[in-house]
Structure 1
Amino acid sequence: MTKLPTFAACLLALCLPFAAAAATRTLRVVGDNNYPPYLFIGPDGQPQGYAVDEWKLWERKTGIKVQLTATNWADAQQRLQSGRADVIDMIFRTPERAAALDFTRPFATVETGIYADRNLTGIADASGLRGFVVGVQRGDACVERLRQAGASSMREYTGYSEIIDAARRGDIRIFCMDRSPAEYYLYRLHAQDDFVKAFDFYSDRFRRGVRKGDAATLALVEDGMARITPQERERLHDKWMGQRV
């Protein structure tokens, strides 16, 4: 039997998984619908952001159609667990989630802070949250982190803008939120002067997740993302996160 040259064999091995997947499936991806600049709903009611453009690139690189759904964070996780989605984007790996999901390599570092009414002073670390009700997004990793820190009194909301609206009404005076959407929504809702960041709570790294044991989808996602060039990523960064001046 004639053996394929090493390069041709490697090329065939690399392309076959994409060809088979492209012929048999659509990759269903879900993510948080209020996480600018990565994924959020634009004025036209359609998803937009870094993740939208990145998955379009992934689709072109692999030939596999991507169905990207932006929904509230709790619903996104439920869709994955119930089999209505194949991949969840922009998720932290936590001990609780690791029991049910497998994760890709990390692709971004995210900072999470505790924000408070500007007139509420004296909260310098997590121990100062005890006795206060903390606003959180339903399904957020911050819930798990707050419990570990001993802050068990939380009020859950569907999304970040809902949390800020509740804080402005006085329903809560403290909330936990990732820095990027916090800065975006505080400014957009004209609330940047009403609240301060009390302290940096933690930082973690974004990954993509699949249901536990779904090694084929995990490999498919990783291989497709690896095909996006540094130059293409730089253009995405400049478009959605700004250029240095």
Structure 2
Amino acid sequence: MPTLVVVHSDNTPPLSFKGMNFTPKGLVLDFWKAWSVQTGIGVTVVQTDWPNSLRMMREGTADVHGGLYYTESRDAFLDFSIPILKQKATLFVRADLDITDISDLRGRYVGVLEQGYSQSWLREHYPELKRKPYKNSRHMVEGARAGEVDGLLTEYATLVYQLGSTGQSRDFVPLQSLYEETLKAAVAQGRADLLELVDQGIRDMGEEQRRKIYERWIIPDDALPGWLWPAAGAGLIALIIGLAAVFSGGLRRE
């Protein structure tokens, strides 16, 4: 079988991003490398901005999306695999605003990923909040530094890395974990043959191997008491800085 083209984000750490010397890194890359070894099928991972990753799937220039959440709009042109992993998304807010509840953000802008799950989720559940979309999470936190938004919503580990790497660990603090969703691969709608191939490879990898890949990049919740709540003291700030250093340095080896 020809090499499969798997597409994902170029700036969504720790899932998929470019490390030192622009080397592709991340959980998604490790997952698909392991999937390739398990199945014997070659894989080329293409990194691009998030909207273009979806465009490539629509246009057929990629065979598999490396990992995303199910939505009805995506289901119109994609078929989804069995689960790969779960992730929590957390709302971070500007520390100097003394925001204690999500309702305090009414009238203020929240940064979200363009065509991302966070954008559609916030539109559905909190339509009164203003949403400002960005092509990747790096642009989100750069927009925050420029004062364009007062809140940020995406995966917790991603924001930890990006806020730390842009020197904003003390400027934004976690307010509330808003949702937990299951990351799945996806193929073009109607490609039942390819979907079965993807699913079988995930099954054959087994839960234990998937867990080990996950824990190289994401510290489990039970290892970090008080992760998601607005404690915002010195300990939390130190934790954010430390985790940013972990991700920027690459894999957290076992």
Give the TM-score normalised by structure 1: 0.82
The match for 1:55 is: 32
Partner amino acid, structure 2, of 1:132: R
Question: Which of 192, 200, 205 lines up with 2:169 in the alignment?
Answer: 192
- Secondary structure of the residue aligned to 2:198 is helix
CA separation of 1:161 and 1:63: change in aligned 2, threshold 3 A: same
Does residue 83 (structure 1) correspond to residue 91 (structure 2)? The answer is no
Counterpart among 95, 99, 120 of residue 144 in structure 1: 120
SS of equivalent residue, structure 2 residue 149:
coil
Measured in 2, the distance between the counterparts of 1:235 and 1:122 equals: 37
Cα deviations by residue, 1:64-110 (Å, 9 ceiling, x for unpaired)? 21111111111111101110011112200012212221111122111
Paired residue for 1:41? 18
Q: Does residue 214 in structure 1 map to residue 191 in structure 2?
A: yes
| C-alpha displacement of 1:130 | 3.2
Measured at CA, do residues 128 and 97 of structure 1 come closer, stay the same or move farther in structure 2, by a change above 3 Å?
A: farther
Residue type matched to 2:122 in 1? L
Q: Which runs of 5+ in 1 are unaligned?
A: 1-21
Alpha-carbon distance in 2 for matches of 1:230, 1:206: 14
**Contact in 2 for aligned 1:34/1:181 (Cα 8 Å):** no
Larger radius of gyration: 1
**Corresponding position of 1:9:** none
TM-aligned CA distance change 1:81 to 1:151, over 3 Å? farther
Note closer, same or farther for the CA distance 1:228–1:169 as it changes in structure 2 (3 Å cut).
same
Matches within 5 A, 1:151-230: 151=128, 153-230=130-207
> CA–CA distance in 1 between the matches of 2:135 and 2:199?
30
Q: Percent identity?
A: 28
Q: For the Cα contact (< 8 Å) 1:117–1:195, is it kept in 2?
A: yes
Instruction: Provide closer, same or farther for how the CA distance between residues 142 and 60 of structure 1 changes in structure 2, counting only shifts above 3 A.
Output: same
Q: State the alpha-carbon separation in 2 of the partners of residues 146 and 234 from structure 1.
A: 29
DSSP 3-state at the match of 2:82: coil
Cα 1:214–1:129, aligned 2, differ >3 Å: closer, same or farther?
A: farther
Structure 2: where are the runs of 5+ without partners?
Answer: 224-253
Question: Counterpart of 2:176 in structure 1: which amino acid?
Answer: F
CA distance in structure 2 between the aligned counterparts of 1:67 and 1:172, rounded to whole angstroms:
36
- 2:94 touches 2:151 (CA, 8 Å); kept in 1? yes
Please give the root-mean-square deviation of Cα atoms over the aligned residues, in Å: 2.1
- What is the DSSP-based 3-state SS (H/G/I as helix, E as strand, rest coil) of the residue aligned with 1:139? coil
Once the two structures are TM-superposed, the CA of residue 199 in structure 1 deviates from its matched residue by: 1.8
What SS is found at the alignment partner of 1:172? coil
Q: Name the counterpart of 2:91.
A: 114
